[in-house]
Amino acid sequence: MSSIKYLALFIFLIVVYFVWRSEDKKGVAVFFSVLLGPLVTGIILIIILGLMSCIFPHQEYLVRKNPIYGVSSSSQTQGSFFLGTGKVNNADYYYFFEESSRGKQLQKSRARSTYIKEYGINDKYNIPEKRVYGFEYQNDFLRKNGFPTMLDPYVVLYVPSGTIVTEYNIDLRDF
């Protein structure tokens, strides 16, 4: 069991102990310990984890990286298409092709937690790729025992320079 599970079990047992202390109403104590025990345990656990995220410093680390691919067009326009955008249930997403164990697959990444960096020919990152970054505690005990931070991971998409455009020139004569 991870440390979080031990902590939750410990809090639950404390809650049950305080509820069961009243000897005169055992039926009510059983009802409240079964019903409210997990709820109170969850609330206390969220408060403890939130305080830990505020108190203990955390660091960023690279979770994984995968190459992404552009889709070429056979039309008269030049270049390739690396990123698409769209909405699903009023949430914005970026769409792209990512390498998987079975080949290239269309993936999506939530726009609010995705950042795009363009690179030039001579830059350090010259391969289009998706990098996922997460957060972990700097404290060895917390990190090794699986205590999660309250910070969400984020994605950085490295794309070739000129991928992001602000003006579109749509010419419908080719159709």
Task: Going residue by residue through the chain, which has 175 residues, state the pLDDT in tens, using 9 for 90 and above.
Answer: 456 667 777 777 777 676 666 555 666 666 666 666 777 777 887 888 778 777 888 889 999 998 888 765 454 445 455 677 778 888 888 888 888 888 888 888 898 999 988 887 777 667 888 999 999 888 888 878 777 787 889 999 888 877 776 655 555 565 5
Number of structural domains in the chain: 2
Is residue 107 within 8 A of residue 95, CB to CB? The reply is yes
Contact (Cβ atoms closer than 8 angstroms) between residue 159 and residue 118: yes
Q: Which 8-state DSSP code applies to residue 173?
A: G
Task: Please check whether residues 43 and 102 belong to one and the same domain.
Answer: no
Kindly state the tokens that stand for 103: 């080949």
Q: Are residues 74 and 157 in the same domain?
A: yes
d(CA 163, CA 79): 9
* Domain co-membership, 65 together with 45: no
Q: Are residues 95 and 27 in the same domain?
A: no
Same-domain pairing of 67 and 110: yes
- Do 75 and 147 fall into the same domain? yes
* The pTM of the whole model exceeds 0.85: no
Question: Is the same domain home to 29 and 66?
Answer: no
Do 69 and 152 sit in the same domain of this protein?
yes
DSSP alpha helices (H): ranges in the chain? 3-20, 26-55, 140-144
Measured CA to CA, the distance from residue 46 to residue 54 in angstroms comes to: 12
